[in-house]
Amino acid sequence: MEEFYKRKLPHMQPKGATLFVTFRLAGSLPQAAIAQLRAARETEMHVATTNEDRYLAERRHFGRFDEQLHQSTGPHYLQQPALAQIVADSLHHRNQRVYRLDAFTILSNHVHVVFAPLQKGVHLDDTTQFHKLSKIMQSLKRHTAQECNKLLGRQGAFWQAESYDHIVRDEAEWERIVWYVLNNPVKAGLVSEWEEWPYTYLRSD
């Protein structure tokens, strides 16, 4: 059984899946840019005729989305080490509690993370239950928003409500996505080697 939930976009979480999630600061992209990205995605999806076409269209959409984040003039709170550390600590705190943490990188206005929600028990009908992505993100965002806002001396939304999430299809895609996550600070020109970025993590085993 798959878990479906919906806010602004439909989401699907197959049980036992590994997920690639990107979440960003509130106001990190202007509405005009969001509308443009959405229109381009809808145009490509409209002409896509196969699952592979749709998959490739979604990859192109995410690439444009991430590029916009790197060029954004919106808030960049996470460039402050104390705030980035709050997010890193929170991601690590949930490791082996609600998910297996594979990789993450924290940029100035967004976070990329790869994890696999863990089993949390067996239901009365003997079906395996996993921690829900929606609950994981709600908890993670709520805690980090409170702590970061406290340090900033501000109130209001810290994170954009909607996150981007993608189901990792197989090992080859896992390797591609993890490398994308690790290489993000290099691509942004922040460091020359991924290991140099202090807010990047890769599972060692």
Q: What is the pLDDT of residues 139-186, one digit of tens each?
A: 999 999 999 999 999 999 999 988 888 899 899 999 999 999 999 999
Packing angle between helix 81-93 and helix 133-152, nearest 10 degrees? 150
CATH superfamily of 12-27+76-202: Transposase IS200-like (3.30.70.1290)
Which two tokens mark 26? Answer: 């509130």
Query: CA 198, CA 171: separation in Å to the nearest integer?
Result: 26
End-to-end CA distance of the chain: 29
Type of residue numbered 67 = E
Does the model's pTM come out above 0.75?
A: yes
DSSP 108: S
Answer whether 87's CB lies under 8 Å from 79's CB. no
Query: CA 95, CA 58: separation in Å to the nearest integer?
Result: 28
Instruction: Find all residues with CB under 8 Å of 54, minimum gap 6, and list them.
Output: 45, 48
Backbone angles phi, psi at 49, to 5 degrees: -110, -15
Per-residue pLDDT tens digits of the chain, which is 205 residues long = 344 333 444 455 666 789 999 999 998 876 777 777 677 677 777 777 787 877 676 777 667 777 777 777 789 999 999 999 999 999 999 999 999 999 999 999 999 999 999 998 665 555 678 899 999 999 999 999 999 999 999 999 999 988 888 899 899 999 999 999 999 999 989 999 999 999 999 998 7
